[in-house]
Chains A and B, each alone.
Chain A
Amino acid sequence: MSQQSDTLTNARPYLLSSPALLLYVGLFMIPLIMTFMLSFYTFDITKGGILPGFSLENYAEVLSDPYFHKIFLRTFVLSILVTVFCVLLGTPEAYILHNMSGRWKSVCMLAILGPLLVSVVVRTLGWAILIGSDGLINNGLMALGIIDSPIKLMFTMTGLVIALVHVLIPFMVLSVWASLQKLDPMVESAGQSLGASSFTVLRKIVLPQIMPGVLSGSLIVFALTASAFATPSILGGRRLKVVATTAYDEYLGTLNWPLGAAIAVLLLLANILIITSYNKFIERKYAQAFK
């Protein structure tokens, strides 16, 4: 009897998590494995489309074709640029927020975090209206006589970086802000009372302590930029293809699913590789801080 109830208690956590486990295996693992297998299939329009089998053809094509090199490189550069700007703008903003109080603080928080609740399609539309060649920024600058001809922002890297920074910077602010919450204000005051300038306090006391927040924020921003789809698709179009829009075109445009699957698998592997190695780096570097 008691042994039976023991088995039951031992089985209980598995029973409790079994609905989620079943769902994940059936609807998450299996689809991913299918895509992995699909990436080894071949595609031949003359022989009726997708042909099952095992071939490294798709990977060879993506890894050897300069067309794909350019797309992967562009996606990487874009992610680096967006991450750098998010760090440079998001970190000071989080610090300023942290130093605010009362009603103003909550108003600013709402203004910065609120856009996260609005679909990325809507936010991108706002930038398309602002930066188009007939857009408000260009019309405004021309009306003021600052420029003579429209600046090209739509379908350029600059426009894409601006919009993606806007889409992703709330994650950076949130992440840094969370680490600022753990900061002991007494340490800052102590530094100041010992005669350190505000800049020294910032650099020697605040910055080292919020570094974990900055790093984990960068990771989120980098990973989300690397796989961003809607914003590059609307603001970059065919002229500025990134990895995600290329996979989309292979699937829904040329219908070459195996090639699209290979691109998707490479994106996933790059993503996992970067996330895990970055996490290891942070853990090693901040091992003491987490103890």
Chain B
Amino acid sequence: MKKNSHIALIFNALFLTFMLAPLVVICLVAFTSKGYISLPTDGFSLRWFRAILDNPHFIDAFYLSLMLGFVSATIAVLIAVPASMAFARYKFAGRAAIMAFFLSPLMVPHIVLGVSFLSFLTKIGWYGTFMGLVFTHVIIIMPYALRLVLSSITGLDQSAESAAVSLGASNWVVFRRVTLPMIIPGVAGGWVLSFITSFDEVTMSVFVASPSTTTLPVRMYEHITETIDPLIASLSASLIFITMIVMLILDRFYGLDKILVGKGK
């Protein structure tokens, strides 16, 4: 293993500072006791964290985003698993084309999806419904779910499945008792990445969220475009804390790079 030079280590330190600075600043500002954005020079105050609880606006949006992420990630995984089985186990006409089609939402800018879903949902009368929001999110997160599930199936040793088949197990039993337990880590990884992607999505959701179905990032975006106050900082700091906990758990079980590699491209 090659060692990094001093210059490399200084570069690394500066890079990490750059990456963490905006997040650290939010967390510091969140503890201010003043009514405006400032560093807590005269002691830490929890005033603005308490203020979040007095804002049902944000609390409702938080629950909506949680529900949305939960339902859409679950639907995405439920349809990604059979599709991945088809891609991993069968050679069929149109296989490459269908797979490219399933990954194609990645090539479409979210702003384009947003305007398209807005006119579509308005047309069919689903604008402002939770289900409408769910299906738009499923389209956005499907490629991520599909990629992680697919890679866990393709890497699988098939001898256990063949053994089960030769012992007379039906297709369904083989899948349920043999395949599924082996791909569960990949499926769970796909679910988590889908959930996070849905929970954080803002560009597309800005278009399809009605006043009664506003997700948390959209509400925060709308708040920030009007005013930047300690309330939004304390809310963001809370999200950063929650994310850090989730991240440490994920890293422990999967390795963060393995999950996030699915995010690129």
CA distance A185 to B12 in the complex (A): 21
- In the assembled complex, which residues on chain A have CB atoms less than 8 Å from the CB atom of B161? none
| Secondary structure call for the A interface | helix
Enumerate B167-221 residues with CB–CB distance to A below 8 Å: 196, 199-200, 202-203, 206-207, 216-217, 220-221
* Residues B20 and A111 in contact, CB atoms below 8 Å apart: yes
Number of interface residues of A (CB under 8 A): 93
- In the assembled complex, which residues on chain A have CB atoms less than 8 Å from the CB atom of B105? 28
Indicate with 1 or 0, residue by residue over A103-126, a CB within 8 angstroms of chain B CB atoms: 000101111111111111111111
- In the assembled complex, which residues on chain B have CB atoms less than 8 Å from the CB atom of A113? 256-257, 260
Enumerate B1-39 residues with CB–CB distance to A below 8 Å: 1-5, 8-9, 11-12, 15-16, 18-23, 25-26, 29, 37, 39
B155 at the interface (CB under 8 A from A): no
Residue among B95, B135, B228 making CB contact with A23, cutoff 8 Å: B135
Knowing A96-B4, A125-B233, A229-B203 touch, does A114 contact B244 (C-beta < 8 A)? yes
Knowing A93-B12, A118-B200, A122-B236 touch, does A127 contact B22 (C-beta < 8 A)? yes
A264 at the interface (CB under 8 A from B): yes
* Residues B136 and A114 in contact, CB atoms below 8 Å apart: no
* Residues B232 and A16 in contact, CB atoms below 8 Å apart: no
* Residues A111 and B95 in contact, CB atoms below 8 Å apart: no
Give the Cβ gap from B75 to chain A, nearest Cβ, in Å: 9
* Residues B202 and A120 in contact, CB atoms below 8 Å apart: yes
* Residues B98 and A229 in contact, CB atoms below 8 Å apart: no
Contact-residue size bin, chain B (C-beta under 8 Å from the other chain): 35 or more
* Residues B37 and A247 in contact, CB atoms below 8 Å apart: no
CA distance A244 to B112 in the complex (A): 8
* Residues B12 and A229 in contact, CB atoms below 8 Å apart: no
Knowing A119-B217, A130-B21 touch, does A96 contact B109 (C-beta < 8 A)? no
Q: Which residue of A has the minimal Cβ distance to B204?
A: A229
Q: Residues of A at under 8 Å CB distance from B? A: 10, 12-14, 16-17, 19-21, 23-24, 27-28, 30-32, 34-35, 38, 89, 92-93, 96-97, 99-101, 106, 108-130, 132, 134, 136, 166, 169-171, 174-175, 177-178, 185, 188, 198, 216-217, 219-220, 223, 226-230, 233-234, 243-244, 247-248, 251-252, 257, 260-261, 264-265, 267-268, 271-272, 275
Q: Residues of B at under 8 Å CB distance from A? A: 1-5, 8-9, 11-12, 15-16, 18-23, 25-26, 29, 37, 39, 78-80, 82-83, 85-87, 89-90, 92, 95, 98, 101-102, 105, 107-113, 115-120, 123, 135-136, 138-139, 142, 146, 196, 199-200, 202-203, 206-207, 216-217, 220-221, 224-225, 228, 232-233, 236, 239-240, 243-244, 246-248, 251, 256-257, 260-261, 263-265
